[in-house]
């Protein structure tokens, strides 16, 4: 078993666990953010925005996990330096862009809640998520460029051999 294959199995186990946790969070968001029995709260109207945004944001994470799984499959089959891999990396990039849009939209209700409850930390959550998401997006763009370069070099080497 190669060194890469020894790393792929644990990574896949982590991806399965992460996917399950994200799925659990999606369920908890839908169930846990419902208005209480003691009547409508002060920010109940925002739940119609927050719940779908949270579910969509977590769905973006699940799509990235699935794309990563497909990339691992290409690694195991020694096909990572191919156009197929670039398509999966593109899917990760565009999913990250969609996630950043969800975060940007979510900043508005978070700011309203933070302003109304005098809780500035609530507004900082989407800001922090946006910074992390931006860093991941930029990293994936750089990794995509490196993958494109490696794919070109490999095809050139195969042409020479």
What digits encode the pLDDT tens for the residues 106-149? 988 888 877 776 777 777 888 999 999 999 999 999 999 999 99
Dump pLDDT digits (tens) for 26-58.
Answer: 999 888 776 665 545 666 777 788 889 999 999
Cα dihedral 91→94→95→100 (10° resolution): 160
Spatial distance between the Cα atoms of 133 and 94, rounded to a whole number of angstroms: 12
Query: How many angstroms from the chain centroid is the CA of residue 108?
Result: 21
Alpha-carbon distance of 116 to 63, in angstroms, equals 34
Sequence ranges of the domains in the chain: 3-33+42-160
Separation between Cα atoms, residue 47 and residue 26, nearest integer Å: 14
Predicted structure pTM score: 0.85
CA dihedral of 147, 149, 151, 157, whole degrees rounded to 10: -150
Of the candidates 108, 28, 14, 118, the one whose C-alpha atom is nearest the C-alpha of residue 68 is 14
């Amino acid at each position: 078993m190669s060194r890469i294959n020894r790393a792929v199995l644990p990574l896949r186990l982590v991806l399965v666990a992460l996917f399950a946790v994200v799925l659990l969070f999606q369920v908890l968001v839908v169930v846990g953010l419902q208005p209480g029995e003691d009547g409508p709260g002060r920010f109940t109207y925002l739940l119609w925005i927050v719940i779908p945004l949270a579910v969509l944001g977590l769905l973006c994470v699940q799509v990235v996990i699935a794309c990563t799984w497909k990339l691992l499959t290409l690694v195991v089959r020694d096909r990572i330096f191919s156009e197929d891999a670039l398509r999966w990396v593109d899917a990760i990039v565009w999913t990250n862009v969609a996630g950043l849009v969800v975060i940007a939209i979510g900043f508005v209700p978070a700011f309203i809640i933070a302003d109304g409850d005098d809780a500035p930390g609530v507004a900082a959550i989407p800001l922090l998520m946006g910074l992390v998401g931006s860093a991941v997006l930029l990293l994936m763009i750089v990794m995509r460029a490196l993958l494109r370069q490696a794919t070109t070099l490999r095809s050139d080497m195969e042409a020479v051999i």
